[in-house]
Amino acid sequence: MITPTTRIDRFQARTSRGRRRLRSGRAVHLLDIENLTRSTRPTTLAVAEVMTLYRRVVPIGPMDQFVVAVNHGALVPVGIAFHGVQLLARSGPDGADQALAEAARGDRMDQRFDRVVIGSGDGYFADLACWLAECGVHVTVVSQRESLSRRLRAEVSAVITLEPPVAQVA
C-alpha cells in the first residue's frame, strides 16, 4: 500500500531540491590573506602579487564569491587591494581564522556552495574542512608549500600550492 506523502515530506523534498540548485556550480573562496602573503601586516602590493598568482593557479568561476579575513591593522591595505569581496577583520591569535570559520558556519556555506576553497595552510581550518566535506562540499586548500598543516592536508581531497614564478635565466 502506498501511503500519501505529508505536507512536511513535500516541503523537505522541495527545499532539498532548492538547496541543490542554489549550490550548483558555485564556489566560495575563504582567504586568510595573512597566511597567503606570509605577513601579519600585508601591503597592498603583496596582496596584489599573491592574488595574481592565485588567479593563475586556482579555477575561479563567474559565480564564485570571496570572503577575506585580516587583523584590524591590515584592513586598509588589504581593503584597497580587493574589490567586491566580503572583508572581515578580527585581531588576536587566530583572529582572521576564527572570523572565516564563523562566517562559513553562520552563513551556511555548506548549503550554498558546491565547492569551498580555503586559502590558508593553517591547521585551524582542519575542523571546518572536515565539516564541509561531511556535508558533501568539495573542499580545496590553496597554500604555500611550507605553510600547509599536515592536519589540514589530511582533511581535504585537493591541494593547490602557490609557487612564485621562477626567474628565467637569459
Look at residue 43 and tell me if it is in a domain: yes
pLDDT above 70 (res 13): no
Residue span of the structural domain in which 109 resides = 29-162
Mean of the per-residue pLDDT values for the chain?
Answer: 87
φ, ψ of residue 67 to 5 degrees: the values are -125, 125
What pLDDT does 158 receive?
Answer: 96
**What total number of domains does the chain contain?**
1
9 part of a folded domain = no
The b-or-e profile of 46-55 (16+ CB within 10 A means b, else e) is bbbebbebbe
With respect to residue 18, please indicate whether it lies within any of the assigned structural domains. no
Calculate mean pLDDT across residues 109-119.
95
CATH code of the domain in which 52 resides? 3.40.50.1010
Section 140-161 average pLDDT = 95
Q: Is residue 21 part of a domain?
A: no
- Asked, for residue 101, whether it belongs to a domain, the answer is yes
Q: Evaluate whether residue 120 is within a structural domain.
A: yes
pLDDT, tens only, 53-112? 999 999 999 989 999 999 999 999 999 999 889 999 999 889 999 999 999 999 999 999
> Which residues, at least 6 apart from 8, have a Cβ–Cβ distance to it below 8 Å?
none
Kindly state whether residue 170 falls inside one of the protein's structural domains.
Answer: no
